[in-house]
Structure 1
């Protein structure tokens, strides 16, 4: 996927996390991969010292590996999320890896 490195695109990615009820934080830490995801608390912590391109690439990696409840996303965010996931599947297929299974329907929280 050709994803331009712009502050607006970073904002679009951050919006997906917000709509999915994940708290996205940019903080200092010792992360081997540049980020940490706490699934049960719905918190994503990204190394605050990453530049704009690093932040965007990190958020793309995280979103591609997560299974979000698509029913809570706006149409614009859903379209972007599906592009990210399909790009990950295509990249995995090109590399000869097994693609991630499709995300099951997740119940909405009350």
Structure 2
């Protein structure tokens, strides 16, 4: 995934379809983000640059409970891409 505003918008739209609210706030987040699962809110450090925002959202999405049946075809493609990247990263780290 390229580090562009369009890529960030696609990830934010995916979360929107999953009924999560993405907020950019100031705070002391150890990992750069916080997930409020019960309220379906994802809070990212507002000082993250675009690349950091994209990487953080790509880290968050595989952790969420997702019902892929409710996703549009475009969001499903984005979701599948994120999951494939996560699986590849996991496989890569396990082989080391």
TM-score, normalised via structure 2 length = 0.92
What is the Cα deviation at residue 96 of structure 1?
Answer: 1.2
Q: Give distance in 1, aligned partners of 2:36 and 2:43.
A: 8
Bigger helix fraction: 2
CA RMSD of aligned residues (A): 1.2
Q: State the distance in 1 between where 2:50 and 2:89 align.
A: 23
- Moved segments of 4+, more than 2 Å: 64-67
C-alpha distance in structure 2 between counterparts of 1:72 and 1:58, whole Å: 23
Q: Counterpart in 1 of 2:82?
A: 84
| Structure 1 Cα separation of the partners of residues 65 and 76 of structure 2 | 12
Which structure 2 segments of 5+ residues have no match? none
Higher radius of gyration, 1 or 2 = 1
> How many aligned positions are there?
95
Which of 15, 18, 23 is equivalent to 2:16? 18
Q: Which residue of 2 aligns with 1:34?
A: 32
Structure 1 residues without counterparts, runs of 5 or longer = 98-110
Higher relative contact order (CA 8 A, sep 6+): 2
Deviation, structure 1 residue 92: 0.7
